[in-house]
Structure 1
Amino acid sequence: MVERNTGKPLCGLEVKLTALPDNSTKKFEEDRYSCEIVVRPPTICFLACSICNHYNTPSGRNRLKSLLDSVPQINHWEEIGDVAPHYSKIEAAILRVSSDMYRHQTPLIIQPIWKTVGGKMRLADDCLDVFVWSNLATIQMCCGEDRVSVSGISRFQRAIIWIYRMLFDYAIYGQFDYVRIIKNHSYNNANDKAFALNGARSYRYLACNELTHPRIGKDEIRNIILGGGQNLLSPERRFDAVIVNSPDLFD
């Protein structure tokens, strides 16, 4: 899809509503609270497409190929034993692409947060805010902390491998087969999600005053949900349940 007047490609943004604190941080001091974020395989496809769009000319594809070319030839990408020994070079290649285009990163994920009192089903007084992850920031979620093993590939490492395969295929052929790459490169992990980053791990990226004290107070919810909309919510959903069970918000 492109903008009608300029022909510029439009960007779809994925919205992930997350609770603050999550289970991994709810027992910490308030200034150490953070959120879990779950990334699904389609997000990895959107991420790769956003990078391909930056290299969408013949010279751009050649540049992308040169940035990825440091990885030795791997004949059996579906085999852990063939891929794991080269993982460090695969990750380094993806980080090299990130460095090359960091001034042109684009938003990918919108993460609204809703804060409760110590993880209980009760909204904090300052309870709503939003964070935005760029395509390159999402790559950073996966990098640097998992130890490389010749006998296993973590979900984080697998996501980096997926990105590498998508970008390399695009650089060579001008396209990539997202479904095939996800299906054939599971590395003994289920494909229901690409990876999940719990609050203890996401804190270093999100830490700021707005995480400890979100900018929108719960008294503003009555100005956000209008016309009795709270009565149409589904209380089996966690955030909806908090709203439904807090009728005083609308008094």
Structure 2
Amino acid sequence: MAVATPETTEPRVVLVTGGNRGIGKCIADSFRAQGDRVIITYRSGDAPEGVDAVQCDVSSTKSVEAAYKEIESTWGPVEILVANAGITKDTLLMRMSEDDFTSVLDTNLVGAFRVAKRATKGFLKLKRGRVIFISSVVGVTGAPGQANYAASKAGLTGMARAITRELGARNVTANVVAPGYITTDMTAELPEDVTANYMTSIPAARFGDPEEVANAVQWLASPGAGYVNGTVIRVDGGLGMGL
């Protein structure tokens, strides 16, 4: 029987795509707080101050390759990948252009594929690795005006499970965290009536905190979750239960 390689006690190299704001930033901060070497990606402009960051557009294979080479030469191979980068282009299906649909999939789903595929090179050399895809409850429940976004987030579950089948015996895990409605700058701008309407559908009767999403990610990245593979953890206050 195969024996898993023990987890290192040294600071781990963690890559969080889209880790410069919102949920991604909170996830990056949580790893940083426990002493890991955290690198975040940003798509354009200047790197955020005070953090290790590389420019990377996950919709470009060339950009992903360049980012990984920079990370590996500076900090070493990525041991934990949190694929969080994503975009939205919400509109009703009858008004949604093909570009609206494909561009969201290219960033949210194909972009996650690009960074996960590239990470496996380091994983196989290290004989360990963790992939954590940040999905959404919308990938299960659907939402009006989000056919593109829902499809991209639903696809992450299938991809995680395929990776599990391929690399589970190599001490690599691939799991999904699916947040529900989380308090961020974006949700803070919602009108009160819209917020109240969302609340009625959430059994917990509140929005979640980014820290609650980060806690789930932290657990999946921990030694205690080494036998958890191909699963989806919903951090949604019960919104998607039973689906």
Tell me which interval the TM-score lies in, with the shorter structure as reference length.
under 0.3
Larger Rg: 1
Higher relative contact order (CA 8 A, sep 6+): 1
